[in-house]
Amino acid sequence: MKAFGAVARPTIRNERELLRYVALVTAFALAFALAVDVVNQLAFFVDWERCLRSWSVTTAVCLAIATPIAYSIGHTHLELFRAKELADALGRIDSLTGLSNRRALIEDAESSLAEVLALAIFDLDRFKSVNDAYGHLVGDMALRTVGRMMQEELGALGLVARIGGEEFALLTSRASLENMVERLLAFRDRLRATPILIDDITLRVTVSAGIALRENGDGFDRLYGLADRALYEAKAAGRNQFRFPPSLEPLVSRHATRFEPGSRIATLRSA
C-alpha cells in the first residue's frame, strides 16, 4: 500500500528518488501486464513455448513503454519540486542586497529552539540625507555595500538580514554572548572608519543598533519589540550608538571601542 502511494502521489526531491519512482512505476506496469498475459495464456493454453515467448514480448514492450513514460512523469514532479524550492528561497532573499529578508528572519526566529537567542536591529544614521543629496541609486549602492560589510563582519555569528529601508538585523544563537558583543562593536567601528566610495562620491556612514535577548521562551514579537525599543533609545542618544540589555553591560565595558577616529581607513568600491 505504501509503495502504491509512492506511485500515485510521488514526492520526488532528487535524482535518487526519481530513479526509485521510475523503478516502482515500471515494476507495477510490468506486474500488471504480465498478470494479464499469464491469465490469457493459461486460459487459452497451447504450449509452454508459446507462453514463454508471449511473456518475453510483453516484458520487452512494457519496459520500452513504461520506463520513458515513468521517467517523464517523475522528472516533471522533480522540476516542480525544484521550482517550489527556488520560489521559497527567493521569497527569503532581499533583492537589493542579496541578504536574507524579514520573512526569513521571522521564520528562523520562530523555529529556533535555542535557549539563548539574540536579535540586533540596525538602522543607518540619517540615511535619508544620502538619498536626498545623491539620489536613490547612490543610496541603494551604499546599502549594498553596508550589507556586504555586515555579512563579512557578522555572518559567522548567524543570520544577517535586511528588514526594510535602511534597517538590517542579526539573529544569532550560535555565538557566545561575549563574542557577539565583541563582533558587534567591531562592526560598528569598522563601518564608522570606512569611507564608501561610489564613483566620485565619498560617503561616511554610521549605524545605531538595539540588541535584545530572548528569555523564558518569548515569541518573536516580544523579542523584536525589545530590540526595537533599544534601537529607539540608541537613536535618541545620538549617532553611532548601540544599546545592549543590562545583563550584557559588563561585556560591553570589557570590550572598549577598538578604533579611534582616523586610526583605520579602508575603502570599498560599490559593485
CB within 8 A of 10, min separation 6: which ones? 21, 74, 77
Q: Are 234 and 209 in contact (CB under 8 A)?
A: yes
Write out the three cell numbers for 58: 510483453
Q: Which one of 85, 152, 166, 233 is the catalytic residue? A: 166
CB within 8 A of 214, min separation 6: which ones? 116, 117, 118, 119, 222, 223
Can you name the residues that pair with 120 across neighbouring β-strands? 170, 211
Distance in angstroms (rounded) separating the CA atoms of residues 45 and 106: 69
β-pair type (167-172, 118-124): antiparallel
Closest to 112 (Cα-Cα) out of 36, 220, 201, 9? 220
Helix, strand, coil in percent for the chain, rounding step 5: 60, 15, 30
Distance in angstroms (rounded) separating the CA atoms of residues 136 and 241: 25
Residue 49 known to be catalytic: no
CB atoms within 10 A of CB 170: 27
CB within 8 A of 209, min separation 6: which ones? 120, 121, 122, 123, 184, 188, 230, 231, 234, 241, 242, 243
Q: Report, as residue numbers or ranges, the catalytic residues.
A: 166
